[in-house]
Amino acid sequence: MAMTTVPVDLGSRRYDILIGPGLLADAGTHLRAVLKHDRLLVIADAAVARLHWPVLDASLRAAGFRADLLETPPGEASKGFSVFAGLLEQALALGIDRRTTVVALGGGVTGDLAGFVAAVLLRGLDFVQIPTTLLAQVDSSVGGKTAINAKAGKNLVGAFHQPKLVLADLDVLKTLPRRELLAGFAEVLKYGLIDRPAFFDWLLEHGPAALAGDSALLGEAVAECCRAKAAVVQADEREEGQRALLNLGHTFGHAFEAEAGYDGGLLHGEAVAIGMALAFRHSARLGLLPQAEAESVAASLAGFGLPVRPDLSGNRPISSAETLLARMRKDKKALDGKVTLILARGVGQAFVARDADAGPILETLTEALQP
Ligand code: GLY
């Protein structure tokens, strides 16, 4: 597959997403085209750095960049105040200045963390995303959301800070464990379910081959997701309206993810798959679409091997539907404690439902917790 360029048109803050094989090895050339200065601060977790830093470092050097690498521990726990503060202090100790560009090399955790570092260091540094997971390539690296977690919940402290460039190298996806690739694929399916029914059908046909290693098909899917995300972000950069659609499956999903404890027992994409199945089942409960259509969506997700119900036999049993609802009320989209849901009238017909009634939500959650 040749390289595909997807522009994100945000006026003076416009940038390109480059998608294709071999981009890491050419990163120096691509960064050179958009950055004026030579100094880079690359943030990567130790596992990703071991796999990809040597190639990236060589490419950056060849293009005349001077890059320092700051490593973080792998996992969601590094998206907290202490790792964040440590990165700020280390960066300042290295003598960075306003001409330094922060580069995130890694998955969603690294992108969110490094992006927030870039947003606040010296009141804002240029930023480049090099996403190395499917989830990060199709969702979190695009659109400028950066954040760390607080005790009260995920992503509650952050900033909008758009990158100057996103490099989505399809070759790096080959190093992903199958489970993580599949979890990222839940976010791919999400775009079809939101407003691209033809893409959803395409995924049902070509998704299995893309997941089995057909890079060209996977690249087509990544590019279509990035086009979809760019369109939403261009229309509503700061989530004052329609950008909330990108949270299909997330309000239900985040509640299960929080219950599971972010320890890898339930990956974000897996929680989103459960959440999307529940969002469709809940929509059917409200009479928005036939139950059979909701079940068909859930069956399609399950057909890829994604979970569509919580694992009730897990190490951390889910306490109750009420606990889950309480978690949903803490979601960032909630206003005055009232839950905002993304519901659907069919595949590709999602909409934002503010002030969702708690009663039916409890029924949907209670049903999901039936053995
Ligand atoms: N991941 C959702 C968004 O970027 O709005």
User: In the chain, what are the domain boundaries?
Assistant: 4-175, 201-368
With b meaning 16 or more CB within 10 Å and e meaning fewer, what string describes 1-19?
Answer: bebbebebeeeeeebbbbb
pLDDT at 154: 83
- Ligand 1 atom showing the smallest separation from residue 145 Cα: 4
**Whether the CB of 243 sits within 6 Å of ligand 1:** yes
pTM: 0.95
- How many other C-beta atoms are found inside a 10 Å radius of the C-beta of residue 92? 11
pLDDT at 283: 98
Question: Minimal CA–CA distance to 187: which of 213, 233, 222?
Answer: 222
Question: What is residue 219's three-state secondary structure?
Answer: helix
Beta bridge partners of 249: none
Percentage of the chain with pLDDT > 70?
A: 99
Q: Following DSSP, what letter does each residue of 278-291 receive, concatenated?
A: HHHHHHHHTTSS-H
Catalytic residue list contains 367: no
Q: Low-confidence residues of the chain, pLDDT below 50? A: none
Catalytic residue list contains 247: yes
For domain 201-368, which CATH number applies: 2.60.120.380, 1.20.1090.10, 3.30.2130.30, 3.30.1280.10? Answer: 1.20.1090.10
Please pick, among 30, 79, 145, 190, the residue that the annotation labels catalytic: 145
**Whether the CB of 52 sits within 6 Å of ligand 1:** no
Catalytic residue list contains 293: no
Classify domain 4-175 by CATH number. 3.40.50.1970
For 275, 296, 297, 365, 368, the CA distances from 310, given in Å and listed in that order, are: 9, 18, 16, 10, 7
**Whether the CB of 309 sits within 6 Å of ligand 1:** no
Catalytic residue list contains 179: no
Catalytic residue list contains 187: yes
- Ligand 1 atom showing the smallest separation from residue 247 Cα: 2
Tell the residue nearest (CA) to atom 3 of ligand 1: 246
For residue 78, the number of C-alpha atoms closer than 13 Å in the C-beta half-sphere is: 24
pLDDT at 315: 65
